[in-house]
Amino acid sequence: MIDALNGPLWTAVNATGKIRIYQILMSSIILCNIPVAILLLWFGLEPELVWVSKIIFNLLAMIVRLAYLRRIVGFPCTKYISDVILPLLLVILFSIVPLSILYFSPVDINTTICILISLLYILLISFVFGLNNQEKLKIKELCLQKFNLSSKR
């Protein structure tokens, strides 16, 4: 998920043409993950912590990317955080707890039904918390157009 958020940011940096310092920063941060992972495993810690360290380094890289973009092109970091990151965090937050309850429920639920419930729930949460009003209106319009087209056939 973090990598998906970082993609447009590194594309924006590349578009500026000022990539030498940026590449040095990003490469340094990302390569630091390797010795940290080796140390974690060497000390006998759980292998899952390697993924946690990767996530932490990706978050650090994202912060550095935002700061670099802000410095070279005046990128509006606070707007990006409020319009992109916070809605995403809300969707994740409101999805994790109920889906965990469903997954770990003592009641035996058919896998297909569990997947369908999860999909519908995440779509609903994404619509409610992940989209702004303009995006919601556009989706409603598209659904109404699709419904009207299918009813004329």
Give residue-wise pLDDT tens across range 39-97: 999 999 999 999 999 999 999 999 999 999 899 989 898 999 998 899 988 888 888 87
pLDDT for the residue numbered 31 = 93
d(CA 98, CA 125): 11
d(CA 19, CA 15): 9
Place of tokens 């779509």: 123
Residues 35 and 103 in one domain: no
Higher-pLDDT residue of 99, 71: 71
The region of weakest confidence among 23-27, 50-54, 118-122 is: 118-122
Residues 17 and 30 in one domain: yes
pLDDT for the residue numbered 143 = 85
Instruction: Write down which residue in 50, 75, 100 finishes a domain.
Output: 75
Predicted TM-score (pTM) of the model is 0.72
Residues 5 and 59 in one domain: yes
d(CA 66, CA 144): 38
Domain that holds residue 124: 77-153
CA distances from 55 to 12, 30, 113 (A): 22, 10, 31
Residue 152 predicted with pLDDT over 70: no
Residues 130 and 145 in one domain: yes
pLDDT for the residue numbered 53 = 94
Residues 92 and 144 in one domain: yes
